[in-house]
C-alpha cells in the first residue's frame, strides 16, 4: 500500500462551542478532532485526510447538508491529487459498467437515471456529486450487493442463505458478537427489533459492511496509487462498521469523518473509537468548507 505524507496541527476547541453553536456567528463549518475534542480548520482536516488511502464520510441519505460536505471534501482532495475514486454504498457492484459509462460521458442523464433509480433514490440529493465525478473524470465504485440478499438475511438469518449463494459471496463469515450488537444499537438509534429478529438484523448489517469492505479492497489491489473516499450511511461508516471489516481484509490507512447526529453521535459523546473527526451540525450554512 502506498503511504501519504503531510503534517497536521490542531487548535484548541472552545468550551462555548461544545455547549452551543447556534446563531449566525457560527454559519461556517466546525470540525472537531474526536480524540482531543479540539476544533480544527478545514485546511488541517484536508491535510490529515491526505495521509489516508481510504476516507469514510458518513451521511443521512436524505440530508442535503451531509452531501454538500461530502462534495466539498471530495473536491478539495481531488484538487490535490487526480488519483481519487469515490466508493458508493448507493450502487451495487453489478452496476459498475454503468458508473464507468457515466464518468466517461457515454450516458446522458436521462439514460443514466433509470440505472440510478434501480440502485438508489433521492437523485436531487446526490446529483451534484455524480455531476462532479463526470466533469472531473473521478472514478466511481459500486460497493453494494443486492438488497434482496441483505433483506433475506434480515428476515431469516445468515444461515438460511443457499449454499451456492454463499459460495458466490466468497464464503463470508457472519458472526455477531456482543460488541457488534451493541454498536448496531447505538449507531442505528435502537432500531432492529429484539431476540432472533435483532440477531438477523445485525447479521444483515455485518454482511453488508463486509462485502462493501471487500469491494474497496478489490479496487485498491487493482489501483494501489488511488485514494478512495467512501460515501455510506453513518452507521456503516462508524469505525465498527465498514472500517473494521476493511482492516480485517487489508493493511490500509483510513480516516472516518462523521456528520453530527444528535442522539447517535454528537459533540458530547464522540470519541476516537467511533470516528476521527466530527462535522458539527450548526445549521444549513454549516455544511460547506
Is the Cβ–Cβ distance between 195 and 227 less than 8 Å? no
Residue at 262 is within a domain: yes
200 within a domain of the structure (yes/no) = no
Assigned domain for 1 exists: no
Query: Has residue 20 been placed in a domain?
Result: no
Task: Say which CATH number the domain at 257 has.
Answer: 3.40.50.11550
Distances (CA, A) of 24 to 17, 28, 207: 13, 9, 43
Identify the domain containing residue 93 by its residue range.
26-146+226-286
Residue 152 lies in a domain: no
As to burial, measured by CB atoms within 10 angstroms (0-12 exposed, 13-18 middle, 19+ buried), residue 156 is middle
14-40 pLDDT, tens digit per residue, is: 333 433 343 334 457 999 999 999 999
pLDDT of residue 157: 86
- Domain count across the chain: 1
Compute φ and ψ for 287, nearest 5 degrees. Answer: -110, 20
Count of CB atoms situated within 10 Å of the CB of 69 = 23
Per-residue confidence band for 171, with pLDDT thresholds at 50, 70 and 90: low
**Using CA atoms, how far apart are residues 1 and 252, in angstroms rounded to an integer?**
7
Rounded to two decimals, what is the model's pTM? 0.85
Amino acid at each position: 500500500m502506498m503511504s501519504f505524507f503531510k503534517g497536521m496541527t490542531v487548535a484548541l476547541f472552545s468550551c462555548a462551542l461544545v455547549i452551543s453553536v447556534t446563531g449566525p456567528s457560527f454559519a461556517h463549518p466546525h470540525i472537531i478532532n474526536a480524540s482531543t475534542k479540539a476544533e480544527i480548520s478545514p485546511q488541517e482536516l484536508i491535510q490529515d485526510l491526505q495521509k489516508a488511502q481510504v476516507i469514510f464520510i458518513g451521511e443521512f441519505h436524505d440530508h442535503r447538508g451531509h452531501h454538500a460536505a461530502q462534495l466539498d471534501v471530495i473536491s478539495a482532495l481531488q484538487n490535490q491529487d487526480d488519483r481519487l475514486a469515490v466508493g458508493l454504498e448507493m450502487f451495487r457492484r453489478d452496476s459498475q459498467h454503468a458508473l464507468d459509462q457515466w464518468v466517461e460521458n457515454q450516458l446522458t442523464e436521462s439514460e443514466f437515471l433509470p440505472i440510478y433509480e434501480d440502485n438508489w433514490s433521492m437523485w436531487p440529493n446526490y446529483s451534484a456529486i455524480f455531476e462532479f465525478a463526470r466533469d472531473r473524470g473521478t472514478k466511481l465504485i459500486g460497493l453494494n450487493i443486492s438488497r434482496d440478499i441483505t433483506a433475506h438475511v434480515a428476515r431469516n438469518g445468515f444461515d438460511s442463505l443457499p449454499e451456492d449463494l454463499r459460495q458466490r459471496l466468497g464464503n463470508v463469515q457472519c458472526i455477531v458478537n456482543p460488541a457488534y450488537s451493541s454498536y448496531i444499537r447505538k449507531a442505528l438509534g435502537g432500531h432492529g427489533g429484539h431476540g432472533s429478529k435483532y440477531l438477523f438484523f445485525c447479521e444483515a448489517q455485518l454482511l453488508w459492511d463486509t462485502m462493501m469492505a471487500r469491494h474497496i479492497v478489490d479496487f485498491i489491489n487493482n489501483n494501489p496509487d488511488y485514494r478512495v473516499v467512501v460515501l455510506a450511511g453513518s452507521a456503516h461508516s462508524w469505525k465498527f462498521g465498514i472500517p473494521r471489516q476493511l482492516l480485517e481484509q487489508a493493511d490500509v490507512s483510513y480516516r472516518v469523518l462523521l456528520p453530527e447526529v444528535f442522539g447517535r453521535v454528537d459533540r458530547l459523546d464522540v470519541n476516537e473509537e467511533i470516528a476521527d473527526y466530527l462535522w458539527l451540525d450548526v445549521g444549513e450554512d454549516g455544511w460547506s468548507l
